Amino acid sequence: MIYYMKICVQQRTSYFTKAGLSTLLNALNIFSAHYVSVAVDVRRVCKESCSKIAIELIQSVSIVFDPPVSQQKKQDWSFVKLFGSSLLSTCPVATTSKVFVDVSSNKSGIPFALNHKPHEIIKENFDNDSGYTEEREYGVYNLKKMFKDSKYVNIGATYENIHIYGIIPSPILYVDRKVAGYGQEQGGIHVTFHNNHRKKSLKILYYDMIPWYLRLYSHTLSIKSGRKLLTP
């Protein structure tokens, strides 16, 4: 039996106020995306050599679109195509307001042209999924400067060729989770962690949301590494 559960989405005013980047958060376009995540992170940070403690609040919205699916294998994108609207303003209380576009694939992938020239190009190094250091390039747009010359901003890119899906390497860590069996005797949740790092083990913290119809008992918990049974 497959249980049907309704999903309730509660809007938060701070995310949907009509100022700055939040003007792009059109519900019709966002919830048609392939992945949406809204997060609020709160932490303590040091100020003045840790003589004072401040509270840092970070609000973030992560959205994944797949333009080739809706545009006949073309990767062309823009604010209007993705969100259904141009950017209409910057946040009036923000010190800076910037947009970063990853332009690294212009050297190794299908070339594309940005419809606006970035104000600057920055480079950053990070460890890729294979354990090697990789350099990435980002085009940076200063929105406060752009709005001095225009009433709206529509950043986008046009690709020379259609997109061809290739072999995508597995990430360093990925998780396979499934609900298996049926009833209290045979039912359960199986979670498998795959560590693809070539050199070291990984420390992870795993949270899970348990379906309301599934009861868990701590004495049935078992952990294995390969074929070796571990004691929690």
Same domain, 117 and 211: no
User: What does the block give as tokens for 155?
Assistant: 């950043």
Express each pLDDT in 32-66 by its tens digit.
888 888 888 898 888 777 788 888 888 888 888 88
- Asked whether residue 73 carries a pLDDT value surpassing 80, the answer given is no
On whether both 116 and 180 belong to a single domain, the answer is no
Q: Is residue 167 part of a domain?
A: no
Instruction: Indicate whether 168 belongs to any domain.
Output: no
Residue 26: closest CA among 40, 11, 39? 11
Tell whether 128 and 30 lie within a shared domain. Answer: yes
Domain ends where: 159, 183, 202?
A: 159
Q: What is the pLDDT of residue 131?
A: 62
CB 78 within 8 A of CB 156: yes
Rg (CA), the chain: 23
- Domain range for residue 83? 2-159
Q: Looking at 7-11, 64-68, 129-133, 148-152, which range is the least confident one?
A: 7-11
Q: Same domain, yes or no, for 111 and 177? A: no
- Position 166 in a domain: no
Same domain as 99, residue 209: no
The answer on 219 and 139 residing in a single domain is no
**pLDDT for residue 13:** 43
27 part of a folded domain: yes
Confidence at 140, pLDDT banded by 50, 70, 90: very high
Does residue 16 surpass a pLDDT of 80? no
Q: How many CA atoms lie within 13 A of 190 on its CB side?
A: 9
Highest mean pLDDT among 2-11, 121-130, 199-208: 199-208
Average pLDDT over residues 122-133: 74
Element (H, E) at 16: helix 13-16
**Is 137 among the domain residues?**
yes
Say if residue 155 is in the same domain as residue 215: no
Q: Are residues 149 and 194 in the same domain?
A: no
In tens, the pLDDT along 156-202 reads: 998 888 777 777 777 888 888 888 877 777 778 889 988 887 778 88
**Model confidence at 67: pLDDT above 50:** yes
Structural domains of the chain, count: 2
Asked whether residue 104 falls in the same domain as residue 193, the answer is no
pLDDT at res. 177: 87
Give a yes or no: residue 165 inside a domain: no
pLDDT (0 to 100) of residue 125: 84
